[in-house]
């Protein structure tokens, strides 16, 4: 980090500017203790690389008016990919989280990952073409997948929904196809990151509960995902909550798991058992929003089961915010209300007095936004920036 001895690197200066801690050269100098000549050299590097812009003027309290430094958000682009069981949402964003263009790709999560990634790379190139932006303007690609991701290797770790993807080098494969750095994370982590950064920047802790085909939780502590030692943090979908004859078989091989009893996919299956036409969590969400009595009843049951598990999480972490998202998060208040009631029933008032339980504000964009934040954090960290600016030796 920058210190008073004047050794701050260009990357560290960029962090000061990006975070808003330094708005002028004078403020950078005060925070870093750099000499005027060294600061001038570092600033020239950052401006030449297109990372920092100097614009406008502020009246300084003393001395001459100073030009304002800002991170060049518009010049830096990010590609986001949110992979689901049946389709992927793709988007081109700038570093200020503004979506420039979107696309959707049909995928089969059961197909070979190499084939799926080649298809996605093609669609990303097409997306850039439609937006008339060159590949060279893209800082990196963020990918969310419905699976635990071992973050150190960027590979899926025993994903029940997509078994063929276990330990597959997604970042390396897609990175080689596109010639760009690729960062992979669990989708609930990225949705939580998007929601936390864009909607609850002051909240020290947030749980993002993704309820769709399966169930997963993103745990965001002080603005960053807590991933756990093997990428399994928040993977609550396979906690067994129903026992005996009533327990349904789960894709993980066990029975009575939260995901197979309380997800949108589980409710769709129960509706089909009643002879109803409900193929997916999306169908369930639509039926609940329309007030279908059986779909509402099953969703209330799901909310109680989910609330039972979340009550433990709330007691463990005492979070500021619990967000209910994923496809079922858009079904109206039935799921949200039953989850909230159950959490309140099962925990002490101290744990919930300041707790805010809400539906996802970003909806289907949460994962796209989170992937964008992941890429910007990684590619514009002080270390990454300094590596890029270092002259090739
Ligand atoms: Zn399971």
Last residue of a domain, one of 72, 91, 108: 72
CA-based max dimension of the chain: 80
Q: CATH number for the domain including 31?
A: 1.10.10.10
d(CA 86, ligand 1 centre) in Å = 20
The verdict on residue 185 lying in a domain is yes
180 and 216, same domain (yes or no): no
How confident is the model at residue 254, as a pLDDT? 94
Assess contact for 303 and 339: CB atoms under 8 A. Answer: yes
Ligand 1 centroid vs 160 CA: distance in angstroms? Answer: 8
Say whether both 330 and 265 belong to one domain: yes
In a domain, 318, yes or no: yes
pLDDT, tens only, 121-142 = 999 999 999 999 999 999 999 9
Do 180 and 296 reside in the same domain of the chain?
no
Evaluated on CA atoms 156, 160, 161, 163, the torsion sign reads positive
pLDDT in tens, 334-372: 999 999 999 999 999 999 999 999 999 999 999 999 999
Mark whether 37 and 88 lie in a shared domain. no
The pTM of this model reads 0.89
Distance 384 CA to ligand 1 centre (A): 39
Q: What is the pLDDT of residue 3?
A: 47
CATH number at residue 86: 3.30.420.40
CA separation, residue 298 to residues 262, 324, 389 (Å): 8, 17, 56
Task: Collect all residues with Cβ–Cβ distance below 8 Å to 194 and sequence separation of at least 6.
Answer: 362, 365, 366, 367, 368, 369, 370, 371, 372, 373
Which pLDDT does position 392 carry in this prediction?
Answer: 61
Q: Are 233 and 289 contained in the same domain? A: yes
CA dist., res. 327 & res. 4, Å (int): 50
Residue 305 maps to a domain? yes
Residue 389 lies in a domain: no
pLDDT for position 251: 87
In this predicted structure, what is the pLDDT of residue 60? 57
How many A from CA of 250 to the centre of ligand 1?
A: 5
Residues 102 and 113 in one domain: yes
- Residue 163 Cα to ligand 1 midpoint, Å, equals 13
- Position 160 scores a pLDDT of 82
Do residue 48 and residue 114 come from a single domain? Answer: no
Verify that 205 and 138 share a domain, yes or no. no
One domain for residues 217 and 97: no
Number of domains in the chain: 3
Distance 348 CA to ligand 1 centre (A): 29
pLDDT confidence of residue 188: 97
Question: Per DSSP, what are the bridge partners of residue 207?
Answer: 219, 322
Is residue 341 included in any domain, yes or no? yes
Domain stops at, among 26, 50, 72: 72
Residue 5: what pLDDT? Answer: 54
Q: Does residue 342 fall inside a structural domain?
A: yes
Residue 253 CA, ligand 1 centroid: distance in Å: 6
Q: 160 with 87, same domain?
A: yes
Domain end, chosen from 72, 95, 118, is at 72
Which residues are CB-neighbours of 89 under 8 A, at least 6 positions away?
80, 81, 82, 102, 104, 364, 367, 368
Q: Which domain holds residue 55?
A: 10-72
Q: Is the dihedral of CA 91, 112, 240, 150 positive or negative?
A: negative
Q: How far is the CA of 324 from the centre of ligand 1 (A)?
A: 20
**CA 216 to centroid of ligand 1, rounded, Å:** 12
Residue 214 and residue 154 share a domain: no
Q: How far is the CA of 255 from the centre of ligand 1 (A)?
A: 6
Is 262 a member of any domain? Answer: yes
Name the nearest CA neighbour of 385 among 119, 90, 49, 161: 49
Distance 249 CA to ligand 1 centre (A): 8
Distance 106 CA to ligand 1 centre (A): 25
Instruction: Kindly state whether residue 152 falls inside one of the protein's structural domains.
Output: yes
Examine the domain organization and report whether 212 and 257 are in the same domain.
yes
Q: Which residues of the chain have pLDDT under 50?
A: 1-4
């Amino acid at each position: 980090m920058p210190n008073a001895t004047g050794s701050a690197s260009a990357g560290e200066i960029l962090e000061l500017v990006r975070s808003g801690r330094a708005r002028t050269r004078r403020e950078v100098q005060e925070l870093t203790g750099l000499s005027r000549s060294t600061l001038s050299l570092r600033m020239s590097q950052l401006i030449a690389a297109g990372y920092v812009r100097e614009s406008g003027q502020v009246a300084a309290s003393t001395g001459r008016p100073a030009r304002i430094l800002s991170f060049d958000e518009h010049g830096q682009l990010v590609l986001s990919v949110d992979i689901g069981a049946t389709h992927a949402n793709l988007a081109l964003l700038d570093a200020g989280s503004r979506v420039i263009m979107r696309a959707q790709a049909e995928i089969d999560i059961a197909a070979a990952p190499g084939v799926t990634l080649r298809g996605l790379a093609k669609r990303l190139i097409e997306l850039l073409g439609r937006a008339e932006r060159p590949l060279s303007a893209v800082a990196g690609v963020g990918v969310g997948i419905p699976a635990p991701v071992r973050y150190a290797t960027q590979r899926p770790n025993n994903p029940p929904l997509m078994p063929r993807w276990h330990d597959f080098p997604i970042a390396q494969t897609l990175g080689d196809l596109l010639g760009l750095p690729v960062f992979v994370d669990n989708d609930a982590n990225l949705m939580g990151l998007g929601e936390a950064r864009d909607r609850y920047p002051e909240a020290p802790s947030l749980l993002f509960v993704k309820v769709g085909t399966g169930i997963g939780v993103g745990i965001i502590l002080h603005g960053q995902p807590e991933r756990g030692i093997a990428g399994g943090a928040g993977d609550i979908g396979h906690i067994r909550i129903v026992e005996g004859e009533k327990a349904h078989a789960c894709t993980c091989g066990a029975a009575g798991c939260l995901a197979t009893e309380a997800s949108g996919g589980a409710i769709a299956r129960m509706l089909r058992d009643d002879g109803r036409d409900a193929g997916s969590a999306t169908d369930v969400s639509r039926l609940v929003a329309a007030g279908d009595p059986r779909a509402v009843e099953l969703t209330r049951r799901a909310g109680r089961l989910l609330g039972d598990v979340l009550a433990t999480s709330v007691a463990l972490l005492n979070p500021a915010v619990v967000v209910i998202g994923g496809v079922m998060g858009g079904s109206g208040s039935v799921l949200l209300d039953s989850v909230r009631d159950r959490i309140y029933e099962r925990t002490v008032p101290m744990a919930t007095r300041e707790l805010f339980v809400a539906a996802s504000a970003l909806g289907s964009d949460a994962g796209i936004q989170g992937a964008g934040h992941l890429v910007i954090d990684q590619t514009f960290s002080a270390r990454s920036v300094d590596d890029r600016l270092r002259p090739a030796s």
